[in-house]
Amino acid sequence: MNGSTNSALDYGVDDAHHLFCEDENFEERNEAHIRGCVCPEDVERVVEECKIDTVWKNLDNDGVLKLNFSMRDKNGEIRRKQLQLTLIDKSRKTFLMTRIDVNNIYVEQENAKKRLLEALNAAEQASKVKTDFLARMSHDIRTPMNAVICLANLGQTYPDIDETHDCLKKIEASGQYLLAIINDVLNLSKMESQTIIFHPTVVRLQDFIRETLAIVMPSANEKALRVDVKQIGITSKYVKLDTTYTRQVAVNLLSNAIKFTPHGGLVQIIFENISREGKFVRGKMIVKDNGVGISREFLPRVFAPFEQENAQDDAGRQGTGLGLSIVKNIVEQMGGTVSVESEKGKGTAFTV
């Protein structure tokens, strides 16, 4: 392309077909070609950037200008192209114009941008979730801590032993809740660093069930909930498991069900055989409720740490949002799986 004469001559595999002739106006012929094949969203930009004065102004220090755009090829496919203009004679403003297909590179770059954007969004979401968690936890700690301080002060002023005893019971309950929050945070930290050591032992299944229910029944009774236990296909009285961590899984799931089931509702814990392997039977535990349920949008995040659906609207339902994440960590480190099925307004079922 000769900028001083506004003309160009092209060379290609097909010598019989030329886009430019030396006696034609380059800018007019080039604009017609651009409008005929370049995609609409790039047309005006490419027309402007291919004008001789614009090219001359935008050259880099090496005398090169590169333009990227999309165009439809002879097969009708949209491809990404790069036009490179290289200055070869400054006095005559003469340029070598080359066009290459950069579609594969462009697709890779766009995919990389998409992955980076997704990673950035995920990081921002994780940061927001942790910030929300810290705000909730600060509130959850402050409320019982204020109760501890106030009740301790009141207890010192009561002459009646019964009133003092009532204050002490409430102080103990608040202290237990504070301890539960701290334990949740510490447990998650330990599990994420994969420092759990399991100690499976043979125990009576009925004993395990009885001792587990003893932990959660006070909360269930406060809401007049019915808690049913079912055994399907269970023929052995004994099971082999790590009592401490398996109970923590069961208690977390039951506590979650109790928390989100309205007054007078139903919570079920079901033990079921699913296969026999030699002397051992592989089983599953299901915790079901007919509570508020989980929305379809939130289900993929239900096991994520710090996450709680409608956390801002459920101030009455205290918790750290770590219980289900702890369940998932324990179960997976045991070599098992945990899944969830739920429908908003109808209830939830967790299967371990």
- pLDDT at residue 338 in the model: 95
pLDDT at 88 over 90: no
- Which residue, chain included where needed, has tokens 């998650």? 188
- Beta strands 78-89 and 226-232, pairing class: unpaired
Residue 262: pLDDT over 90: yes
What backbone phi and psi angles, to 5 degrees, belong to 342? -160, 155
What confidence tier does 24 reach under pLDDT thresholds 50, 70, 90?
Answer: confident
Q: Give 280's strand partners.
A: 277
pLDDT digits (tens, 9 = 90+) for 130-153: 666 665 665 556 656 666 767 677
The answer to whether the CB of 3 falls within 8 A of the CB of 94 is yes
Secondary structure of residue 16 in the 3-state scheme: coil
pTM: 0.53
Give all domains of the chain, ordered by start, each with its CATH number.
Answer: 26-101 (no CATH), 116-192 (1.10.287.130), 201-351 (3.30.565.10)
Q: Model confidence over 284-316: pLDDT tens digits?
A: 999 999 999 999 999 998 988 767 776 544 544
Tokens of 163: 């009133």
Q: Where are the alpha helices (DSSP H) in 193-299?
A: 205-222, 243-259
Helix, strand, or coil here: 232? strand
How far, in Å, CA of 177 to CA of 171, rounded?
Answer: 10
